[in-house]
């Protein structure tokens, strides 16, 4: 057990994976000497060399396309996309190639690569640096999509993602990078599983990535008003841990899903549909969603209005409990 | 008014963009020009080449006849596939007619351990790699999206997204470098990668990025561009202002234009490029100057956008005819040999047809297979539901 940050939890997870498997290579912009713009790969090039921690040309399609080739040669590339909004040039390779090669080859070819994306807002950044684009990838068959919310999961989930024989899009909550927490001795369940972070009986809050902390704060605030909220960290968006989600929904009868991404066709929409289809008679209220609006991510002076916060989560809790 | 307003520069300095713009290409698009490497003229006469003659002289008569056999069989296979499409047995076919020499010549320059990344028209390259041609029909018949094991013959799946495979090839070559399989001097170990693409693909950002990555990494990859003059309906001049092989220079490695309808020249030029890659000298850009004699695919109608006179010019440059003439005049091939190859080609056509028709449709539930390497709960649940849904009809029918 040790205390570290989310960023450093990923660093130590990458280091462990690289020590264990010489085929693990890191690829990305500025990840070598600089250690990445968030310093997540700090020190790794010094220790593993330029052949394994590759400072690539500034071209996301090129990074992803060459990572595919490296994977075809038997490597396990971990690609860093510098910011969420920079992934789009690589989008074609991710959805047209990475996601499909296993099926196209009838299983002969595996694509065991990891695409790390720092995501979400709240850091006062300029345009294209604060997006939550996970739905695009979760909507693509062939990909797995996960998001960590704490140092323990950061450390262990990145290793599980690297060990996966399927491609994994690994979302990192950039505004929580420097939040501290304990790292335990092993992962909490398989990649793909959710985790109940706080038990409750009145209502279930479902969240992932940066919104987990917000939901834990909301549950604490609600407790002071005598309400018992359960908080589930989804951790995986594709697959969703349907068993854990349904179990909690059936237990409390009320569900609020929280994410930074726009609610329109977001992860919450899928969860709402899934819970309604499969636990309809156990619900006391419709599944509610709290998320971003159907607008481009706003200038940073407005981002606090865009991002779900404690009050908006509690407002949804009140609305759900009013049914 | 702000105090940093700038006076128009062209007024101040007399700049006229139109005057400084480079001149248009100096030669017609369909002439390879004097820099094009050619060892066999369209008439089948051997063109001496100080650099390449020694390479070609090393080829045994048997190997030379083998190239002819490849050309004829590949063309016959292609014709059979086109016929199968016309008869409704394939949904689509992308014919390689006219490009046989570019594909056979480059394919035969590879060693066993080399790796090819094709487009969807590389039937001739597939042949030289030993891929069963019937495998190529699967995606056009609609029974799969590829379906062969790329690592069996070191021939990647066909890639339909234009230019994407050039990056995959470059990444593969970066892996080869990390495996230490470059420049060891061991003929069975040193490995080169070859990326196939067309003139249209050179407009894609992916191709430029591949050239960047290969250049800065000095990767063992040959960029083999079949310039067949047409990207569906768009001629070269809609894709490029400069000759394509010139592009390599800007990325820091050599480029060369070869007569793509001359199997000997293609073989020799590609062999040199692959040898250089294997020995650690990095990438080469080869522009094989050729022509798409047929339509882009069976869904295309080239009479809408190109004139028959142009096609006639290229008929005169046919890759098989010129090679046959040369084999005949040099006595390396006789009538018996040519007849035997024709007979073999007919047998190939028959067998391809039979095996195409025998290709089973996939079971409906197979669409759920191989989506993930390890089970994905949603896909697994849907597969189960799908099976139950189908079973419910069978039960209904039984009642």
Condensed to tens digits (0 to 9), the pLDDT of residues B320-359 reads 999 999 999 999 999 999 999 999 999 999 999 999 999 9
Active site residue B292: yes
pLDDT at B16 over 60: no
Chain B residues near residue A61 by CB distance under 8 angstroms: 167, 205-206, 209
Per-residue pLDDT tens over the stretch A262-317? 999 999 999 999 999 999 999 999 999 999 999 999 999 999 999 999 999 999 99
Mean pLDDT of B357-363: 95
Q: Judge if B250 and B376 occupy the same domain.
A: no
User: Considering only CA atoms, which of B310, B311, B288 is closest in space to residue B227?
Assistant: B288
> Do B164 and A141 make contact, defined as CB atoms within 8 angstroms?
no
- When divided into structural domains, chain B yields a total of 2
Separation in Å, CA of A60 to nearest CA in chain B = 9
Rounded to an integer, what distance in angstroms lies between the CA atom of residue A227 and that of residue A211?
20
Average pLDDT, chain A: 98
Q: Judge if B343 and B380 occupy the same domain.
A: no
pLDDT at residue B8, as a whole number: 63
Helix (H/G/I), strand (E/B), else coil: B378: helix
Q: Percent of chain B scored above 90 by pLDDT?
A: 88
Chain A residues near residue B174 by CB distance under 8 angstroms: 54, 66, 69-70, 73
User: How many contacts does A have with B, using Cβ atoms within 8 A?
Assistant: 148
> Do B175 and A192 make contact, defined as CB atoms within 8 angstroms?
no
The answer to whether the CB of B264 falls within 8 A of the CB of B324 is no
- Residue B171, domain member (yes or no): yes
pLDDT at residue B12, as a whole number: 52
Cis check for the bond before A128: say yes or no (omega within 30 of 0): no
From the candidates B75, B76, B168, B296, which is the catalytic residue?
A: B296
> Do B209 and A164 make contact, defined as CB atoms within 8 angstroms?
no
The answer to whether the CB of A211 falls within 8 A of the CB of A308 is yes
Q: What angle do CA A156, A158, A163 make, to 5 degrees?
A: 95
> Do B369 and A74 make contact, defined as CB atoms within 8 angstroms?
no
- Residue B13, domain member (yes or no): no
Mutation site for B-interface testing, chosen from A18, A70, A73, A166 by largest number of B Cβ within 10 Å: A73
Chain B residues near residue A78 by CB distance under 8 angstroms: none
Q: Which of A67, A93, A106 sits opposite B144 (nearest CB)?
A: A106
Q: Judge if B351 and B389 occupy the same domain.
A: no
Please give the residue of chain B at the shortest CA–CA distance from A49.
B178
Chain A residues near residue B385 by CB distance under 8 angstroms: none
User: Considering only CA atoms, which of A98, A120, A116, A93 is closest in space to residue A44?
Assistant: A116
Mean pLDDT of B47-69: 97
- Residue B306, domain member (yes or no): yes
- Residue B307, domain member (yes or no): yes
Give one word for A268, left, alpha or beta, with left for phi > 0 and alpha for psi -120 to 50: alpha
Q: Percent of chain B scored above 70 by pLDDT?
A: 93
- CB distance from B18 to chain A under 8 Å? no
pLDDT at residue B3, as a whole number: 75
- CB distance from B371 to chain A under 8 Å? yes
DSSP string, B218-233: T-SEEEEEEE-SEETT
Mean pLDDT of B99-122: 98
Q: Which of B174, B209, B374 sits opposite A61 (nearest CB)?
A: B209
Confidence of residue B13 (pLDDT cuts 50, 70, 90): low
> Do A66 and B174 make contact, defined as CB atoms within 8 angstroms?
yes
Q: Judge if B222 and B371 occupy the same domain.
A: no
**Is the complex ipTM more than 0.90?**
yes
Q: Judge if B172 and B71 occupy the same domain.
A: yes
Read off the CATH number of the domain in which B157 is found: 3.40.50.970
In B152-211, the residues whose Cβ lies within 8 Å of chain A are 156-157, 159, 161, 164, 166-179, 205-206, 209-210
Chain CA centroid to CA A274, Å: 20
pLDDT at residue B10, as a whole number: 57
Q: Judge if B223 and B277 occupy the same domain.
A: yes
pTM, entire model = 0.95
Confidence of residue B29 (pLDDT cuts 50, 70, 90): low
* Angle formed by the axes of helices B61-86 and B100-107, nearest 10°: 130
User: What is the DSSP code (8-state) at residue B320?
Assistant: H
Please give the residue of chain A at the shortest CA–CA distance from B214.
A66
Query: CB-based burial of residue B92 (10 Å sphere; 0-12 exposed, 13-18 middle, 19+ buried)?
Result: middle
- Domain span at residue B386 reads 364-393
**Strand ranges in chain B using DSSP code E only, listed in sequence order:** 115-117, 193-198, 221-227, 230-231, 234-235, 255-259, 284-289
Q: Percent of chain A scored above 70 by pLDDT?
A: 100
Separation in Å, CA of B217 to nearest CA in chain A = 9
pLDDT at B185 over 70: yes
Chain A residues near residue B168 by CB distance under 8 angstroms: 65-66, 68-69, 72, 97
User: Considering only CA atoms, which of B222, B294, B285 is closest in space to residue B258?
Assistant: B285
pLDDT at residue B167, as a whole number: 98
Q: Judge if B337 and B368 occupy the same domain.
A: no
pLDDT at residue B23, as a whole number: 52
- Residue B14, domain member (yes or no): no
Q: Which of B176, B205, B374 sits opposite A61 (nearest CB)?
A: B205
- Residue B69, domain member (yes or no): yes
- Tokens representing A1 are 């057990």
Query: Which of the residue ranges A209-213, B78-82, B143-147, B201-205 would you say has the lowest mean pLDDT?
Result: B143-147
User: Considering only CA atoms, which of B84, B82, B139 is closest in space to residue B295?
Assistant: B82
Q: Judge if B314 and B381 occupy the same domain.
A: no
The answer to whether the CB of A197 falls within 8 A of the CB of A291 is no
Q: Judge if B241 and B375 occupy the same domain.
A: no
- Tokens representing B284 are 């080469």
Q: Which of B150, B168, B371 sits opposite A65 (nearest CB)?
A: B168
Average pLDDT, chain B: 93
Q: Judge if B378 and B286 occupy the same domain.
A: no
Per-residue pLDDT tens over the stretch A144-160? 999 999 999 999 999 99
Separation in Å, CA of B153 to nearest CA in chain A = 13
pLDDT at residue B20, as a whole number: 43
> Do B164 and A92 make contact, defined as CB atoms within 8 angstroms?
yes
Strands B193-198, B221-227: pairing is: parallel
Chain B residues near residue A62 by CB distance under 8 angstroms: 167, 206, 209-210, 212-213
Q: Which of A57, A68, A74 sits opposite B212 (nearest CB)?
A: A57
Active site residue A129: yes
Q: Which of A65, A70, A166 sits opposite B372 (nearest CB)?
A: A166
Separation in Å, CA of A240 to nearest CA in chain B = 8
Confidence of residue B31 (pLDDT cuts 50, 70, 90): confident
Chain A residues near residue B156 by CB distance under 8 angstroms: 72
- Residue B372, domain member (yes or no): yes
Cα end-to-end distance, chain B, whole Å: 87
> Do B164 and A65 make contact, defined as CB atoms within 8 angstroms?
yes
The residues near A104 (Cβ < 8 Å, ≥ 6 apart) are B144, B145, B146, B147, B157
Please give the domain boundaries of chain A with CATH numbers for all domains: 2-183 (3.40.50.970), 195-321 (3.40.50.920)
- Residue B398, domain member (yes or no): no
**Which helix (H) or strand (E) segment is A64 a member of?**
helix A60-72
Confidence of residue B21 (pLDDT cuts 50, 70, 90): very low
Mean pLDDT of B161-184: 98
With a cut of 70, which residues of chain A have pLDDT below it? Answer: none
Give the Cβ contact number of residue B201 at 10 Å: 23
Mutation site for A-interface testing, chosen from B118, B139, B173, B209 by largest number of A Cβ within 10 Å: B209
Q: Judge if B350 and B370 occupy the same domain.
A: no
From the candidates B86, B112, B145, B305, which is the catalytic residue?
A: B305
CA separation, residue B103 to residues A170, B5, B29, B208, B225 (Å): 41, 58, 21, 22, 10
Mean pLDDT of B204-223: 98
* Angle formed by the axes of helices A151-163 and A6-20, nearest 10°: 30
Q: Judge if B159 and B78 occupy the same domain.
A: yes
């Amino acid at each position: 057990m040790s205390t570290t940050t989310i960023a450093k939890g990923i660093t130590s997870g990458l280091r462990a994976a690289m020590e264990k498997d010489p085929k693990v290579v890191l690829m990305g912009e500025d990840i070598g000497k600089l250690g990445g713009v968030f310093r997540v790969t700090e020190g790794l090039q010094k220790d593993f060399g330029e052949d394994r921690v590759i400072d690539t040309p500034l071209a996301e399609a090129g990074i992803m396309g060459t990572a595919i080739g490296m994977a075809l040669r038997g490597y396990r590339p971990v690609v860093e996309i510098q910011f969420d909004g920079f992934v789009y040039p690589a989008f074609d390779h991710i959805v047209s190639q990475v996601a499909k090669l296993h099926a196209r080859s009838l299983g002969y070819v595996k694509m065991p690569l990891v695409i790390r994306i720092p995501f979400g807002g709240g850091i006062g950044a300029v345009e294209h640096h604060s997006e939550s684009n996970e739905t695009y990838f979760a909507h693509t068959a062939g990909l797995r999509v996960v998001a960590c919310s704490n140092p323990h999961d950061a450390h262990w989930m990145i290793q599980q993602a690297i060990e996966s024989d399927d491609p994994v899009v690994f979302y990192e909550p950039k505004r929580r990078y420097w939040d501290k927490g304990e790292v335990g001795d092993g992962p909490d369940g398989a990649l793909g599983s959710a985790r109940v972070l706080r038990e409750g009986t009145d209502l279930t809050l479902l969240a992932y990535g940066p919104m987990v902390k917000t939901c834990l704060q909301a549950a604490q605030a609600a407790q002071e008003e005598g309400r018992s909220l359960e908080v589930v960290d989804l951790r995986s968006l594709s697959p969703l841990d349907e068993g854990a989600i349904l179990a909690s929904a059936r237990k409390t009868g009320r569900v609020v899903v929280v994410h930074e991404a726009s609610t329109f066709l977001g992860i919450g929409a899928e969860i709402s549909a899934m819970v309604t289809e499969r636990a309809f008679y156990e619900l006391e209220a419709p599944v509610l969603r709290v998320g971003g609006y159907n607008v481009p991510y706003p200038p940073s002076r407005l981002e606090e209005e865009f991002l779900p916060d404690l009050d908006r989560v509690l407002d949804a809790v009140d609305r759900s409990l009013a049914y | 008014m702000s105090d940093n307003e700038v006076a128009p520069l062209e007024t101040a300095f007399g700049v006229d963009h139109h005057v400084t713009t480079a001149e248009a290409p100096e030669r017609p698009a369909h002439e390879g020009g004097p820099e094009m490497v050619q060892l066999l003229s369209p008439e089948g006469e051997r063109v001496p080449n100080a650099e390449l003659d020694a390479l070609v002289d090393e080829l045994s008569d048997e190997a030379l006849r083998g190239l002819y056999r490849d050309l004829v069989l590949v063309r016959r296979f292609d014709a059979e596939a086109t016929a199968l499409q016309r008869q409704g047995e394939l949904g689509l076919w992308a014919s390689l007619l006219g490009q046989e020499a570019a594909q056979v010549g480059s394919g035969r320059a590879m060693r066993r351990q080399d790796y090819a990344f094709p487009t969807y028209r590389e039937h001739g390259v597939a042949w030289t790699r030993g891929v069963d041609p019937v495998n190529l029909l699967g995606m056009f018949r609609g029974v799969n999206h590829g379906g062969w094991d790329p690592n069996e013959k070191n021939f990647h799946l066909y890639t339909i997204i234009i230019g994407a495979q050039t990056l995959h090839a470059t990444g593969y070559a970066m892996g080869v470098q990390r495996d230490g399989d470059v420049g060891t001097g061991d003929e069975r170990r040193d490995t080169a990668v070859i990326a196939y693409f067309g003139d249209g693909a050179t407009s894609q950002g992916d191709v430029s990025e591949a050239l960047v990555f290969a250049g800065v990494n000095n990767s063992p990859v040959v960029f083999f561009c079949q310039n067949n003059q047409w990207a569906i309906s768009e001629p070269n001049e809609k894709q490029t202002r400069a000759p394509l092989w010139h592009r390599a220079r800007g990325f820091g490695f050599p480029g060369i234009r070869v007569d793509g309808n001359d199997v000997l020249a293609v073989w020799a030029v590609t062999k040199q490029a692959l040898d250089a890659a294997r020995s650690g000298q990095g990438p080469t850009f080869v522009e094989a100057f050729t022509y798409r004699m047929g339509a882009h695919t069976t869904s295309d109608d080239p009479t809408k956008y190109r004139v028959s006179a142009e096609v006639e010019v290229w008929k005169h440059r046919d890759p098989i005819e010129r090679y046959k003439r040369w084999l005949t005049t040099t006595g390396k091939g006789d009538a018996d040999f040519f007849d035997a190859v024709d007979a073999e080609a007919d047998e190939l056509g028959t067998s391809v047809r039979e095996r195409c028709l025998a290709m089973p449709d996939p079971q409906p539930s197979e669409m759920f297979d191989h989506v993930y390497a390890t089970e994905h709960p949603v896909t697994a649940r849907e597969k189960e539901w799908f099976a139950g849904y189908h079973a419910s009809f069978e039960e209904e029918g039984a009642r």
